[in-house]
Structure 1
Amino acid sequence: MKRLILAPHMDDESMGCGGLMAKYPDECIVVTVTESGEIRSGEHAKAMEILGVSEMRNLGFEDGVTDQHMTALVGAIDAVMAEVRPDEVYLPYPSLHQDHIAVYEAGMRSARVSMSSDHHFPPTVLVYDIAAYDVNLYPTDLRWNVFEALSEEEVTKKALACTAYQSEIPSEIHPINSVKQLAAAAGLVRLMEYAEQYALVRQVRR
């Protein structure tokens, strides 16, 4: 199993899929889209070490303007898809941030059926939740309908990975500091101690 996680910024992957990565570290490939500088890159490396993920790369797009480079962004993701050939692709929910919307849209386009013989068609596409945003700019038909059960150890690793991003934590009261509470809220109503929530876009079963 190969799980490709596309993150607009270094920290989105941990907030959205940190538990999944802690659970399946050898199956996850993390691709961050925007270049974030030495400090945040160091925090990202620390977060990945906490989660046990060793395969990651950065596409090097400028933060805040990825929506202005859609063709190049889709092409860059296409190249990663062709190289990695993931079984599952994880995309950010298209909420308020322009980079999140752009990466979601570019990822969906890259996951398309193509006339090109070397284009990879990932059989499963899911969207992950980033709790920092509570308003959407446009409606979608996405629903949180897939729930990944997490153990105490896995959710603790996710929380530690999120707090590795000290340069991105604006205040003590913030979703990035409430990882275990959010995971408990998602899990308990579904008879699990902790969970991460995802929206299934497509699943092809063979």
Structure 2
Amino acid sequence: MFGDDFLARQRVLVITPHADDETYGCAGTIARIKSLGGEVYVVLATAADLRHFGADDAGNKVKLVSRGTRMGEFEAVMRLLKVDDWDVLLADPEAHLALDVVPRKQLVGLVESKGRLSIDRIEPTMILIPAPSYNQDHEALYRACVTATRPGVPGERHLVPFVLAYDNTSLFWSFDHERFRPNWFVDISRFLDVKIQAMRLHASQVRPPIYHGSPEGLEMATMLRGREVSVEAAEGFAVLRALV
């Protein structure tokens, strides 16, 4: 039931807190769905200039990555994955890494109806949202998306049949009761190379192989997910709703 025929019929809305979270969590699934003729739309919550850990050309341990750089990388990934359209939810740079102080009502409204690629406008059959974590943006966006996908009176608002939370290589760094436990897997064995290529396109975020979020670390993590269900490579999701 959930093989190629199922995936080919999906109109998917992906909500990503930052440029690269979509790649960590579901780039292979996006690539597989697009290869089958399905639709995929991606909404990036925020992007802004940011100083973060990472060696620069001068050997400093902290580097500045501009919004323009991140957006250029993100656009390249969207082209690689052949998504149908993408958009940025919040243009205000002050919201970057501060979604926890943006009123939830505002976030919900944008995801639900006011954004250019909102649920009301796209009417997705499936929505992929970030799993909650210690990252304040992921946590805030997850809760806003759960609210935005709540059931309503039939005919008054679109009900998304499949609501799934996607993985991230950093989710091992959580309290035990908050650990990510996927219960739905997508075999991306034929698309693992696309996923890793997408990660490398986020060039400003690429780290040495020892780092869990490096392309090498991501490949190992994706192959480990695959071994959990006896395939070469897989992406794991937590099912929040499955209406059939």
Do these two structures clear the TM 0.5 threshold for a shared fold by scoring above it? yes
More displaced stretch, 92-101 vs 182-191: 182-191
1:168 equivalent in alignment to 2:205:
yes
More displaced stretch, 139-148 vs 31-40: 139-148
More displaced stretch, 161-170 vs 172-181: 172-181
More displaced stretch, 191-200 vs 54-63: 54-63
User: Which structure's relative contact order is higher, taking Cα pairs within 8 Å and 6+ residues apart?
Assistant: 1
1:4 equivalent in alignment to 2:19:
no
**Superposition RMSD on alpha carbons, in Å?**
2.0
Task: Give the 5 Å matches for 1:46-195.
Answer: 46-60=76-90, 62-69=95-102, 70-79=104-113, 80-114=118-152, 118-136=156-174, 139-140=177-178, 143-152=181-190, 154-174=191-211, 175-177=213-215, 178-195=217-234
Q: Is the 8 A contact 1:123 1:203 kept in 2?
A: yes
- Give, in angstroms, the shift of residue 17 of structure 1: 0.5
Structure 2 unmatched ranges of 5 or more:
1-9, 49-66
- Give, in angstroms, the shift of residue 136 of structure 1: 2.8
Identity of aligned residues (%): 27
User: Which structure would you say has the larger Rg?
Assistant: 2
CA distance in structure 2 between the partners assigned to 1:139 and 1:89 by the alignment: 24
Over residues 146-202 of structure 1, what are the superposed CA-to-partner deviations in whole Å (9 max), with x where a residue is unaligned? 1100133x1100101011111123434222312222121111231211111111111
Amino acid at match of 1:83: R
Q: What TM-score, normalized by structure 1, do the two folds share?
A: 0.91
More displaced stretch, 95-104 vs 188-197: 188-197
Q: What TM-score, normalized by structure 2, do the two folds share?
A: 0.78
CA distance in structure 2 between the partners assigned to 1:114 and 1:68 by the alignment: 27
Q: Is the 8 A contact 2:171 2:180 kept in 1?
A: no
More displaced stretch, 196-205 vs 62-71: 62-71
CA distance in structure 1 between the partners assigned to 2:163 and 2:24 by the alignment: 18
Q: Is the 8 A contact 1:86 1:122 kept in 2?
A: yes
Decide whether aligned partners of structure 1 residues 134 and 113 sit closer, same or farther in structure 2, where only a CA change above 3 A counts: same
SS of alignment partner, residue 101 of structure 2: helix
SS of alignment partner, residue 164 of structure 2: strand
